[in-house]
Homo-oligomer: A and B are copies of this chain.
Amino acid sequence: MQFQQLVYFVAVAETRHFTRAAERVHVSQPSLSQQIRALEKELGAELFSRARGNIALTDAGEALLPLARRILADADTARHEVQELAQLRRGRVRLGATPSLCTGLLPEVLRAFHDLYPGIRLLIEEGGSHDLVRELARGALDLALVVLPLPTPSPALTTVELLQEDLVVVSSAADPAPRRPVRIADLEGRPMVMFRHGYDLRELTVAACRAEGFEPSFTVEGGEMDAVLGFVRAGLGVAVVPSMVAARAGRDLRVTALAPPGLRRTIALAHRSDVAPPRAARELQRVLLRSTSGG
C-alpha cells in the first residue's frame, strides 16, 4: 500500500471517473489505472465496479474510503506539524539560568526572542550552575546560562562565552559612602548580606575574601537576589552583586566599583556536546550571542 495509491483511489472514488481522476492528481490515466489495479491486487479485493460511465465503489471500496481519507489527512497533519516546528512557529526552549542572570540578562533577551518567535514557549529553570549542568546532561534542559568556570567541567558539555561581568559592591544609600573604589580587603569585618548556597556569587565572593586572607562575616544569609538587595537596602550589610543587577536596583542602593583588579565573572552558554540543541534552542542561542556581543 502506498500513499500515492490512496490518493489515486480517493480521486477515483470522488470523481467516479478514471480519466478525470487522473487529471486531478496530475498523472496519466494508464498510470492511475495501473496503481488502482495494484492496490486492488494487494488488498485482494476489487475496489470499484467498472461499468461504462458508471464507476462505483464496491463494498470493499466503501470500507476503504474513510480510512484512506483519514490516513491522507494524518499525513498532511504530520507534514504541517513538523514544518511548523522546523520553522519555529511552534516549539519550546528549555533554558536554565543562574538566578542573577534571570534577573539581569534574561528579561530583555527573552523579550527580543519572543517578539521574533511568538509561538515558541520559553521554559526557564532557575538554579545554581551545578544543578544546571546536571539537568543539561540529563537532557532536561536544552541550554543553560552558567558562570565559568563550571563547578564540574565535562567534555559532554560545550560552553560558549557570552560576556564578562564586573562585580560591584552595593550598600544602603543611608550608610556613609565608602572610599571609592572599594578593595576586597576593605570588606574584612564589614557586615555582609549573602545569598543562599548554590549561588555562584556566593562561592566567588567567599573565595575572593579568603584570597585576601579573611573570612567574610554574614549578617543575613540564605536569600535570593531580590531578598539580598532588600536586606542591603534595609542597612543589614553590603553585598557583592553583578553590575548589571546593581544597575537596575534603584536609587536607595549605593553602587561602588571594586578597585582593580576587581572581580569579574564569565557568563557562558552551555549545551550538550553530543547532540545539537533543537532548532528553537539554537535560535535562542543566536539571539543571546548577538545581544551580548553587540552590546
Residues of chain B with a CB closer than 8 A to A58's CB: 278
Contact with B along A1-17 (1 / 0, CB 8 A): 11100000000000000
Name 15 A/B residue pairs within 8 A (Cβ), A-sorted.
A43-B78, A45-B82, A45-B86, A51-B274, A51-B275, A54-B275, A56-B275, A60-B81, A60-B85, A60-B86, A63-B85, A67-B81, A68-B78, A70-B74, A71-B75
12 other A-B residue contacts (CB within 8 Å) besides A59-B278, A67-B78: A1-B75, A3-B3, A45-B82, A45-B83, A46-B276, A47-B82, A54-B274, A54-B275, A59-B91, A71-B74, A71-B75, A71-B78
Is B86 within 8 A of A77, CB to CB? no
Interface residue total, chain A, C-beta cutoff 8 A: 43
A residues 242-295 with Cβ under 8 Å of B? 272, 274-276, 278-280
Does A44 make an interface contact (CB < 8 A)? yes
Q: Chain B residues near A44 (CB, 8 Å)?
A: 82-83, 86
A103 at the interface (CB under 8 A from B): no
The answer to the question of A79 belonging to the interface, with a C-beta cut-off of 8 Å to chain B, is yes
The answer to whether A180 has its CB under 8 Å from any CB of chain B is no
**Closest partner residue, chain B, to A71 (CB atom):** B74
Residues from chain B with a CB closer than 8 A to the CB of A51 are: 272, 274-275
Contact A43 B278 (CB under 8 A): no
Number of copies: 2
Alpha-carbon gap, A133 to B83, bound state (A): 55
Is A279 touching B45 in the complex (CB atoms < 8 A)?
yes
A59 to B45, CA, bound (A): 40
- Given A51-B275, A86-B45, does the pair A81, B63 have CB atoms closer than 8 Å? yes
Pairs of residues from A and B, 6 with the lowest C-beta to C-beta distance, nearest first? A51-B274, A45-B86, A49-B275, A67-B78, A63-B81, A43-B82
Known: A44-B83, A56-B275, A274-B54. A74 touches B75 (CB 8 A): no
Instruction: Collect the chain B residues with CB atoms within 8 Å of residue A85's CB.
Output: 45, 59-60, 63
Cα–Cα distance between A139 and B276 once the two chains are bound (Å): 61
User: Taking the complex as formed, is A64 at the interface, i.e. its CB lies under 8 A from any CB of chain B?
Assistant: yes
Asked if A79 and B139 make an inter-chain contact with CB atoms under 8 angstroms apart, the answer reads no
Asked whether any CB of chain B lies closer than 8 Å to the CB of A183, the reply is no
Q: How far is the CA of A142 from the CA of B82 in the complex (A)?
A: 46
